[in-house]
Amino acid sequence: MHDPAISALTLADPDVAALVEAEAQRQFTKIRLIASENYVSTAVLEASGTVLTNKYSEGYPGRRYYEGQQIIDPLETLAVTRAKELFGVEHANVQPYSGSPANLATYLAFASPGDTIMGLSLPMGGHLTHGWSVSATGKWFRGVRYSVRRDTGRVDMDEVRDLARSERPKIIFCGGTAVPRTIDFPAFAEVAREVDAVLVADIAHIAGLIAGGAHPSPVGHAPVITTTTHKTLRGPRGAMIMSDAAHASALDRAVFPGLQGGPHNHTTAAIAVALREASGPAFATYAHQVVANARALAEALTERGFDLVSGGTDNHLILIDLTGKSIAGKPAAQALDRAGIELNYNAVPFDPRKPFDPSGVRLGTAAITTRGLGVEQMPQVADWIDITVKAAADGDEATIARVASEVADLTAHYPMPGWA
Ligand SMILES: *Cc1c(COP(=O)(O)O)cnc(C)c1O
């Protein structure tokens, strides 16, 4: 059952309640390897479902457009203070509705439509909002893209420097959604300084690792940092923008009134709770365990003949290139889902296949680490992936069903916040 219980919901709307219960059970039963997902704590769940959702509070603490902010002002200030302390930044804005609007706010703050901006190409691991063509950021701005090197699978810093010198972007984004390696923030900072661009470090995926000391921090290198709060950071769906003092007011104006109306105060409360959790020693242990699990899983997959982009991982994320496995990313991901192992199909660098039917799958270890799995379970997880991918290529559904029941046997032993 969902925990906290949803008894009023069950009475008022059995249809929605049944779907919530089913989703909770699905999350409990599966091995969740979607790199951008996690399980929030029961405290974060509770904070998200409070009367704070009833309150309008356009503006910022002490400067609001609605009355009745006696409680919301200190709440938002608490979230901001915790973000500043946890990441060691001069300024934080906790109002962006999600990662994409947070990134859009940096465009509004530091560029004008038609200006050149630069980011990692989407099929190389970048995010849509780093100027990719189908995104508003690629339609309204001139997106130029750097890549990873063919031989190493890592960001090509020579190309970053050459492209920045020739294209003179207003904003340079570093970070991405399918980057299994450490981001070299000092190297990006040097390039941005040389061409007088604003460096935005988008740490959406790795924020929890940074907070827990398991990945270098961009603070002191990137004057502007955007992040979601719901990936490795393990908070509610939301986002934050952090910056030095010099960039603070332009960012605040871009979020409100530039892009958004009232902040989602229930989310602000849940972000504050997640930030407090992330400042404790247990979170640092979790962050290091996420990386240890990813390394162990990467090794176990490599031993079973899987080809990993860049040859491994430094963080929570692994990108498998299935070329040579006689199955493409999408059917492999679908078969793994039937086997109780949830991940997503993903393009790999220089992918000859189409984005909707690419050659790879992406996985991450944040959610299973929260669940309590350790390095000793990673060979088993790799085995199930290997068996399922082979079974899918052979059309062997019986084997896939057998893996699903073995997976459910394992996950039954690992508690999940939100399920009792
Ligand atoms: C997830 C992600 C985002 C977007 O976040 P949403 O909350 O899905 O809008 C932006 N940038 C990067 C690098 C991401 O991984």
What average pLDDT does the segment 350-368 reach? 95
Catalytic one of 56, 60, 97, 414: 56
Whether 75 shows a pLDDT value over 90: the answer reads: yes
* Spatial contact of 207 and 217, defined as CB atoms under 8 Å apart: no
Among the listed residues 29, 129, 137, 228, the single catalytic one is: 228
Predicted pLDDT of residue 396: 97
Provide the mean pLDDT of the chain.
97
Overall size of the chain counted in residues: 420
146 phi, psi to nearest 5 deg: -100, 170
**Ligand 1, CB cutoff 6 Å, lining residues:** 36, 98-100, 103, 127, 129, 175-177, 202, 204-205, 228
Instruction: Output phi, psi for 361, to 5 deg.
Output: -130, 150
**Rounded distance between C-alpha atoms, residue 24 and residue 417, angstroms:** 10
Nearest to 18 by CA among 2, 31, 30, 35: 2
The DSSP code for 395 is: T
Check if 371 is active-site: no
Contact (CB, 8 A) for 223 and 243 = yes
Tell me which of 3, 21, 46, 58 is the catalytic residue: 58
| Residue spans of alpha helices (H) in 199-352 | 207-211, 245-253, 265-278, 281-303, 329-338
Instruction: Examine the residue annotation and report whether 63 is marked as an active-site residue of this protein.
Output: no
Q: Categorize the per-residue pLDDT at 338 as very low, low, confident or very high, splitting at 50, 70 and 90.
A: very high
How far is ligand 1, taken at its centre, from the CA of residue 264, in Å?
Answer: 18
Question: CA 69 to CA 49: how far, in whole Å?
Answer: 19
Cα 132 to averaged position of ligand 1 atoms, centre (Å): 13
Q: How far is CA 48 from the centre of its chain?
A: 19
User: How do residues 83-114 score in pLDDT, each as one tens digit?
Assistant: 999 999 999 999 999 999 999 999 999 999 99
Digit-coded pLDDT (tens) for 214-229? 999 999 999 999 999 9
Task: Dump pLDDT digits (tens) for 8-49.
Answer: 999 999 999 999 999 999 999 999 999 999 999 999 999 999
pLDDT at residue number 401: 98
Ligand 1 geometric centre to CA of 130 (Å) = 10
**What are the Cα distances from residue 49, in Å, to 46, 76, 236, 266, 374?**
5, 17, 11, 7, 31
Please report which confidence band the pLDDT of residue 336 belongs to, taking 50, 70 and 90 as the band edges.
very high
Whether the pLDDT of residue 304 is over 90: the answer is yes
Q: What is the pLDDT of residue 123?
A: 93
Options 84, 161, 237, 276, the catalytic residue: 237
3-state secondary structure of 308: strand
Q: Domains plus CATH for the chain?
A: 47-278 (3.40.640.10), 289-411 (3.90.1150.10)
Q: What is the pTM of this model?
A: 0.97
Beta carbons within 10 angstroms of residue 20's beta carbon:
15
CA 231 to ligand 1: nearest atom: 1
Q: How far is the CA of 379 from the centre of ligand 1 (A)?
A: 30
Which DSSP symbol is given to 113? T
| Model confidence band, residue 62 (pLDDT cutoffs 50, 70, 90) | very high
For residues 262-289, average pLDDT: 98
- Indicate the top mutation candidate among 94, 117, 122, 127 to test ligand 1's pocket, ranked by most ligand atoms within 8 A of CB: 127
Pocket test for ligand 1, best of 94, 122, 177 (most atoms within 8 A of CB): 177
| CA-proximal residue: ligand 1, atom 13 (nearest) | 176
- Name the token pair of 67: 């009355």
Q: How many CA atoms lie within 13 A of 217 on its CB side?
A: 14
- The C-alpha angle with vertex 95 and arms to 92 and 101, in degrees rounded to 5, equals 105
- CB contact set of 255 (below 8 Å; sequence gap of 6+): 93, 95, 96, 101, 102, 105, 241
Does the annotation count 58 as an active-site position?
yes
List, in order, residues 6 or more apart from 96 with CB less than 8 Å away.
Answer: 102, 105, 226, 238, 239, 240, 241, 255, 260
Identify the three-state secondary structure at position 144.
strand
> Cis peptide leading into 186, omega within 30 of 0?
no
- Would the CA dihedral through 376, 380, 381, 385 be positive or negative? positive
Q: What is the pLDDT of residue 355?
A: 83
pLDDT score recorded for residue 63:
96
> Is 202 marked active-site?
yes
